[in-house]
Structure 1
Amino acid sequence: MAGRLTTERLTLRPWEVDDAEAALAVYGEGGVSGWLSPAMDAVSDLSAMRLILQQWIAEDQRLFTPAGRWAVERLDDKQVIGGAVLLPLPPGGEDLEMGWQLRPDAWGRGYAAEAGRALARWAFDEGADEVFAVTRPANERASATARRIGMQWVGETEKYYDLRLEVFRLRPGDLD
């Protein structure tokens, strides 16, 4: 279950159904949704986003720590600017995926790397030995963020999501 995580500029907190409008600004945006896993398409409207948030909230109650889904909120203005996840990777769920999605006007400010480091610390504090990020090879932005977090490039695989993906790994000793 997702706990509340705080960094210098961000709060990562559990999603609420009232976050639907802010979440739609992330998951309904083509520049974001085009990179999401096949498990999630672009969200088309507010009612669909509410349903997804309800599903995520219910799912979060069943996940084992450190797994979870978080809303990424700026501390200074309390605006939700994105989402972050720690979820078991398919097909077998033995690997833990770290992911982040921000609305485009929040790109380029270091928020994704800051959120990623917070997720990694949480995962390691809760006993995880390693976390992975998987990115589509053309998603240079996500690959660069994984590297800024301190993740090491492992290679490419088709193991996850039946797609050719780049794999990055982070272990506790890799964190600054």
Structure 2
Amino acid sequence: MVDRTHRVVIEGSRITTPRLALRPWATRDAEAALAIYGAGEVSRWLAPALEPVSDVAAMQRLVDRWVAEAGTLEPPQGRWAVELRETGQLVGGVSLLPLPPDDGDLEIGWQLAPNVWGRGLAAEAGHAVAHQAFESPSGIEELFAVLRPRNNRGAATARRVGMEWVGETDKYYGLRLQVYRLRKGDLDDHGPTTTLRAH
């Protein structure tokens, strides 16, 4: 499980944890983002929600689209670039977006560069975004993660965030997917997290 004794600080569209800084995507991020979304180990699990990205120009178009879409998303929805606080290095992305086809359920998604796998960073980012969602005035009571079968790393991350497996469905994306759910009351059931919301 994620270390639930740490602090999550929410300041507008920025979220920090002990090791991570989550911030909105910027157009300057394309080259660093390609190391994440262009990696075959990452992209193989993302289609059709996100098609593989082959070069910096394609990544630039995608990041520019994310930047443009940011103003149209209803809080607490969003996409965040994930940086290491210690170095400022961009190492991943995390999102909270409506699931198709009816946009009634919210999905947490996380992607990290393969060179930082195995350190619990994806779970830390997912946990922070879950706090941001549940503490918003929107009244959200549950969040989901949907994963392709055999995405064992993604399933392990979902469990570390505190999510429980609830079954399989073909409701989303026209694919047979594993569904994990996190209820608001279960977010920190293994210990406290201090959350500060700056105004």
TM-score bracket relative to the smaller structure: over 0.9
Question: Which aligned segments of 4 or more residues in structure 1 are displaced greater than 4 angstroms?
Answer: none
1:102 matches 2:115: no
Tell me how far apart the structure 1 counterparts of residues 111 and 59 of structure 2 sit (CA, whole Å): 15
Tell me how far apart the structure 1 counterparts of residues 37 and 66 of structure 2 sit (CA, whole Å): 13
1:48 matches 2:58: yes
2:83 aligned counterpart, secondary structure:
strand
RMSD: 0.9
Q: Could you tell which deviates more after superposition, 152-161 or 122-131?
A: 122-131
Tell me how far apart the structure 2 counterparts of residues 163 and 37 of structure 1 sit (CA, whole Å): 10
Tell me how far apart the structure 2 counterparts of residues 5 and 99 of structure 1 sit (CA, whole Å): 16
1:165 matches 2:182: no
Structure 1 or 2, whichever has the larger Rg, is 2
- What TM-score, normalized to structure 1? 0.97
Q: 1:130 aligns with which of 135, 142, 146?
A: 142
Q: What is the CA deviation profile of residues 46-86 of structure 1, one whole-angstrom value per residue up to 9, with x for unaligned ones? A: 11111111101111110000110000000000000010000
Which structure would you say has the larger RCO, counting Cα contacts within 8 Å and 6 or more residues apart? 2
List alignment gaps of at least 5 residues for structure 2: 1-11, 189-199
2:71 aligned counterpart, secondary structure:
helix
Q: Which residues of 2 match residues 51-62 of structure 1 at below 5 A?
A: 51-62=61-72
Relative to 1, partners in 2 of residues 1:88 and 1:32: Cα closer, same or farther, differing over 3 Å? same
> How many residues are aligned here?
175
List alignment gaps of at least 5 residues for structure 1: none
Structure with the bigger percentage of helix: 1
Taking only the aligned residue pairs, the percentage that are identical comes to: 61
Q: What is the CA deviation profile of residues 4-32 of structure 1, one whole-angstrom value per residue up to 9, with x for unaligned ones? A: 00001000100001011110000000000
Q: 1:19 aligns with which of 22, 26, 29?
A: 29
- What TM-score, normalized to structure 2? 0.86
